Structure formats: C-alpha cells, structure tokens
Amino acid sequence: MPTVTTAARLHFGFQNLSLAHERLYGGVGLALAEPRLVVEADPADELRCDDEAARPYVERAVETLDVPGAAVSITERFPRHVGLGSGTQLSLAALIAVARAHDLTADVRTYAPELGRGGRSGVGVATFLQGGFVVDGGHPTERFTAEPPAEGDWEVPPVLARHNVPADWRFLLVVPDVDHGRSGAAEDRSMRDAVERADPGIADQISTLLTRELLPAIATRDRRAFGTAAATLGRLNGAWYADEQGGVYRPPAGELVEHLADAPAITGSGQSSWGPTVWGLTDVDSERAARDAGRAALDAAGVDGTVQVVAPRNTGADLVE
C-alpha cells in the first residue's frame, strides 16, 4: 500500500503584494517535522475515503489523474485552516498516494495547479518536494492586474533560494482555540483586496530585509538574526493585511506574539499565514522553557489552545510502497 508522509509548514509572509512591482507574491517559509500527515491508498474501482474533510482532496486527485478510484485512509493529520498549510500537503500527498496505487508517476509541480495549488505561494509545494527554508519567485504581476488567472491557469512559482534549517533549531507552535483562518473564497477575496491597496514601499523594505538579513542569517545559521528578521517580515506583511484581519496580526495572535517577544527562550515570533497559529523560534536546549512561554502567552491572552515544540524538516515528503 503506497503511504505518503509529509508535515506542516510555516509561512512567514510574501515579498510583494503591490501591483506596482513586476513580480507578485513570492512566498517565504519553511518545512516542519510535525505535526504530520500520513495518507495511504490502494487501487479501487470507486472512491472510498471515510475522512469527510479529506474526501474532496482525494476526489480531485482521482479526477486529475483520470483513474477509476482509490481506497484512501488518512492515518495521521493536523488541523485545517490554522496557518500550517494542511490543504496543500493533503492535496499533494493524495495525488502521489493515488498515483502510486495505480502504478503511475505524477510530477508534483506539473499537477499542483490542476489541484488548485501554487496560485499564490509556492512554499507549500516546495516544502512538500524538498523541505527546508524556501523563498519562491512569485508570479508575473501582469497576470493579476485585472482578474487573477482562472483556477489552474498558472505555473508554480520557481524556487529562488533553498537552505537546510539547522537541526538544533526548534519552532514553538501556539494554536489558540479561536475561529479558523481564512481559506477558499474568503481568502481569495481578502488577498485581492489587500493586493489592490498594497503599499509598494513595504515591498522595498522586505527586499532589503530578505537580502541583507534573512538570507544571510539562514546561510550562516545565525538563529537570533534569523528569528528577528522573520518576525520583521511578518510585521511588514501584517501592514498589508491590517484591514482584512483586524490589525497587523489576527487577534489574538498579536497578544501572543507580544508575550513571546519578552520570553528569554524565544528569538523571534510571528503569525503563520492567516493564523491563528503563532510561531516562536528557539533551540533544542530551550524546548521546555519555550513550551512554558507558549502556555504563559495563552494564559495572558485569556484563551485556550495547544502548545507544541517541533523540529524543522529538511527533506521532502516520504513515500513508502
């Protein structure tokens, strides 16, 4: 039985949302080792999937591959619409599992647009394929100046830079028990509104930040510099999204980020994608202190939630047949 194992990703933000620049979007993020997603598939003459939340993704994979069906099980999963990239990972994992169940091969970058993936950020596709820290090249702005391309009528953004994340770095994940982040049509509308209003000057600041701070920090394995730069990237992105999410961060993420910024074990924190997940950077020796800081942040914000400390992932999804 083909089994595909992948995991979550963090999305720190985009390089540009302004139509005044030649390239739009340009995602920045990295792969995590947990929480994991495990998809198993057997060939079948019809679609069988007991996981109702996953079923639409499996149906699309079956349709895209033009196979009669598959018997698919999701044996591990992580929450949807919390800023950890579950949709892309599930889409691509289902694609590969179903393809291998029928002894087919499927190029992920080729099929991703047909699955509705890679239309803005290429980080989810890139981390599925190779893990690590990724910067993608975005899309030509001219394709988005009126209406965005029809679904699937795009290419996955090219990877401009990719680095292994140091094995001793750890990422605190704080997921408050609040409404899920934007997704689907609501996310599309919010992104379009943000693009139409985006200040091009913020993109100029991000360009300098990326080349002078964030990329040198990951290349030299400077955890403190990386955390500071990634946090700044998130705040700059938040200025673009402020009208759409109720502030630079989506409440209560701002309060969580503020408390984590004061924690000695944390060297940089921010919101992943639309949230509500908040990340904090620490190291293997400070895992317990980081967890305590995450719980304290939830308490200070007056919300329940989960706290987890996870390692980075420097390899792509795993396929076992």
**Which letter does DSSP use for residue 252 in this model?**
T
Residue with tokens 């700044």: 232
What is the predicted pLDDT for the residue at 185?
62
Instruction: Please choose, from the candidates 243, 254, 299, 300, the residue with its C-alpha nearest in 3D space to the C-alpha of residue 276.
Output: 254
How far apart CA 69 and CA 47 sit, in angstroms, is 4
Q: What is the pLDDT of residues 32-50, one digit of tens each?
A: 999 999 999 999 999 999 9
Question: Alpha helix (H) ranges present in the chain?
Answer: 55-65, 86-101, 108-111, 123-130, 184-197, 200-209, 215-219, 223-245, 253-261, 287-301
- What is residue 150's predicted lDDT score, i.e. its pLDDT? 77
181: confidence class by pLDDT, cuts 50, 70, 90: low
pLDDT in tens, 151-164: 778 999 999 999 99
Domains recognised in the chain with CATH numbers: 3-320 (3.30.70.890)
pLDDT band at 192 (very low <50, low <70, confident <90, very high): confident
At residue 127 the predicted structure's pLDDT band, cuts being 50, 70 and 90, is very high
- Residues 253-260 have a mean pLDDT of 96
Give residue 146's pLDDT: 53
Rounded mean pLDDT, 255-263: 97
- Asked if residue 316 lies in contact with residue 131, where contact means CB atoms within 8 angstroms, the answer is yes
Q: Can you give the C-alpha Rg of the chain in angstroms?
A: 19
Residue 244 confidence (pLDDT) above 90: no
Residues 55-80: pLDDT tens digits?
999 999 999 999 999 999 999 999 99
